[in-house]
Amino acid sequence: MSYNRRSFLKTVSRIGATTVALPYFIKPSALGLGNTVAPSNRISLGFIGIGDHGYGVNFLSFARKCQNHTHISKICDADFKRVKEIQDIANKQIDGVQLEDKDCIHDFRQIIDDPTIDAVVISTPDHWHVPMSIMALKKGKHVFCEKPTRSLDEGKMLVDAVKASGKVYQTGLEDRSIPSYRQLIELCQNGYIGDLETAYVSVPRGGLPNVEIKEEPIPEGLDWEIWLGPAKYAPYQAQRCKYTFRWIRDYSVGMIADWGTHTFDTGCVALLGPDKNEYASKIELLEEPKFAKGLFNTAYDFSIKYTFSNGKTVFLDTGETYTRIQGSKGWIECPAYPSRANASDPKILDAFLKTSDKKYRTEPMNEHRNFVDSIKSGRPVYMPAIAQDALCWNMHAGAIAMDLNESLEFKNGKFTNEKANSMTSATYRDAWKF
C-alpha cells in the first residue's frame, strides 16, 4: 500500500481542536455525596507531583470517584508553594480531605518511606516516573503512575520490578476509560469492518520555537535538585518545567511519547488486540523529521510507519489528534481527542454486539477507580506495566529512529543498527540511582 502523508491528511475528517477547562468543584456534600467510611478502612494514598494534571485529574479523581475506598494521607511536590496552595484548596473544597501541615511535604522520599501509606500516585515529569515507581514498589507500595517511561529500557525495568513486588501497578492513561474508544476497539476486534489492515494515528505538531538555553533565578519554594533528580544537572530555566519539559530530551522525548501514547495505544489495541503488547519489527521514517534548536530538542514534525510481526501496520503522523482503523469492509475513526466515533458506513456504529462477541474490558469510572478496585479484589488492571512497556517501547523506537534519521529493524530482541542499540538506556546521576 502506498502512503502519502499530505494527501491522507486531506481525506481524514477531523473535528477542530477542543479546549477542555477544569470545572469549578464544589464539596460532594452539597450534591448528597458526602457519605464516607473511616480512614482506617480505606487505602491510604500519597501523592507525588500535584501540578495541573496531578491535582486537576489524579487527585480530584481519587478524591471524588474513590472517596469511599481511599484516604488521602500526604501530598508532595518539589515546588513547596504549590503544595501549600493545594493544601488550602483541597481542605476547603473536598469532603473527607483534611491535610495538616505535617502531611504536606516537598521530598517524595518521605512518602515512599512512610509505612502507613499503601499506594502512591505519581504525576511528575517523565524522567521521574520509573525511578520513583521502582523505589515505591521496593517499599511495598502499590503504584499509580503517569506515562511515559523516559527510555526504551525503562519499560522492562518497571515490568521486572512490578513482578518482583507482587503489587498493583496502573498506568495513568485515560483513553481506556473513554466509551467511544471502547466502541471503536470492540467493533474492530469483532469483525464489523472486516479483516483489519492498518491504523492511522496522529498527534499535534507542536510548532516548537527555538529557545536559547540560559540560567534563571530559582523560584522561592522550588527544590531544583529534587526536580532534576536522576536527570543530568542543568541550571534552572522556567521553560524546563511545567508542560514544556516534554520537549527537552533530558526529561522526555517530545510529542511522540506525550500525545503518541494516547492515539497509538488505541490504534494498536483496536488493530492487534487488547493483550498483544507487541514491539514493532520495522520502524520506517516516511519523511525527514523536523527538530527545534536550543533548549527544545525533540522532534515536532514527523511521519513514521510501524510494521508488526503479523504484517499489520500503524502510521503515526503529526498534525491533529485522530485514530482511524482501516479494514477490508470499511473504517472506523475517532477524529479528535476525545470524540464520538465515525465510520465509513454509519450503520457500522449502530451494530449491537452479539453474545458471542469479544468484549473489551474497561472501567467506566476511569483508571483511578480501576486501580483501587484491583488492589481490593486482585483483578488485573487494564493498563499494567507490561502494556505500558510495549506502548512506550514503540514510541522510544520511533524517537531513536528520528534522532538517527534512519529507519530501524528489530530482530531477536535488538535492533540491527548497533548505534540504535546504544541509545536504549537513560543515564542517572549517582545521587539518584535506584
Residuewise pLDDT in 10s, the chain (434 residues): 444 444 444 344 333 333 333 333 344 434 333 445 555 679 999 999 999 999 999 999 999 989 889 999 999 999 999 999 999 999 999 988 999 999 999 999 999 999 999 999 999 999 999 999 999 999 999 999 999 999 999 999 999 999 999 999 999 999 988 989 999 999 999 999 999 999 999 999 877 889 999 999 999 999 999 999 999 999 999 999 988 999 999 999 999 999 999 999 999 999 999 889 999 999 999 999 999 899 999 999 999 999 999 999 999 999 989 999 999 999 999 999 889 999 999 999 998 888 888 888 766 778 999 999 999 999 999 899 999 999 999 999 999 999 999 999 999 999 999 999 999 999 999 999 88
Q: What is the pLDDT of residue 351?
A: 85
Residue 18 lies in a domain: no
Q: Fill in the DSSP letter of residue 402.
A: H
Tell me the pTM. 0.90
Comparing CA positions, the residue from 34, 21, 172 lying closest to residue 93 is 34
Q: Does 184 lie in the same domain as 140?
A: no
Same domain, 309 and 201: yes
Cβ-contact 393, 153 below 8 angstroms: no
**Strand ranges in 163-289 using DSSP code E only, listed in sequence order:** 169-172, 196-204, 282-285
* Domain termination site, one of 129, 146, 175: 175
* Whether residue 323 is found in the same domain as residue 194: yes
> What's the gap between Cα 272 and its chain centre?
19
Place of cell 521496593: 138
Which strand (E) or helix (H) includes residue 364?
A: none
Q: What is the CATH number of the domain that holds 116?
A: 3.40.50.720
> Cis ω on the peptide bond leading into residue 148 (within 30° of 0)?
yes
Q: Is residue 374 part of a domain?
A: no
The residue to which cell 530482530 is assigned: 411
Q: Is residue 366 part of a domain?
A: no
Q: Is residue 365 part of a domain?
A: no
DSSP letter at 429 equals -
Q: What is the CATH number of the domain that holds 234?
A: 3.30.360.10
User: Quick one: 170 and 183 in the same domain?
Assistant: no
Supply 270's cell numbers: 483496536
Q: How does DSSP assign 23-57, residue by residue?
A: PPP--GGGGT------GGGSEEEEEE--SHHIIII
The HSE-up count of residue 58 (CA atoms within 13 Å, CB side) is 29
Tell me what pLDDT residue 37 has.
56
For residues 313 and 154, what is the distance between their CA atoms, to the nearest angstrom?
25
Structural domain span for residue 50: 41-175
Backbone angles phi, psi at 70, to 5 degrees: -130, 160
Residue of 293, 278, 403 lying closest to 422 (CA atoms): 403
Q: Do residues 329 and 199 share a domain?
A: yes
297 and 212 part of one domain: yes
Question: Could you tell me the three cell numbers for 146?
Answer: 503517569
Q: Which among 136, 151, 175 is the end of a domain?
A: 175
Question: Is 103 buried (19+), middle (13-18) or exposed (0-12) by CB count in 10 A?
Answer: middle
Residues 231, 240: contact at Cβ < 8 Å? no
Query: How far, CA to CA in Å, does 292 sit from each of 28, 106, 257, 402?
Result: 46, 33, 17, 13
Domain count, the chain: 2
Q: What is the rounded distance in angstroms from the CA atom of residue 394 to the CA atom of residue 262?
A: 12
Q: Is 34 contained in some domain?
A: no
* Same-domain check for residues 422 and 350: yes
Q: Are 236 and 218 in contact (CB under 8 A)?
A: yes
**285 three-state secondary structure:** strand
The pLDDT score that the predictor gives to residue 40 is 63
Same domain, 254 and 154: no
Rounded to an integer, what distance in angstroms lies between the CA atom of residue 431 and that of residue 159? 24
Together in a domain, 291 and 208: yes
Q: State whether 260 and 168 are in the same domain.
A: no
**Domain co-membership, 236 together with 330:** yes
Whether residue 376 is contained in a domain is answered as: no
Q: Which three cell numbers stand for residue 431?
A: 545521587
Of residues 286, 395, 270, the one with CA closest to residue 7? 286
Distance separating alpha carbons of residues 340 and 178, to the nearest angstrom: 10
Which three three-digit cell numbers place residue 77?
511536590
Does residue 59 share a domain with residue 122?
Answer: yes
119, 146, 175 - which closes a domain? 175
Cα–Cα distance measured from residue 427 to residue 346, given in angstroms and rounded to the nearest whole number: 50
Place of cell 514491539: 279
pLDDT computed for residue 362 by the predictor = 67
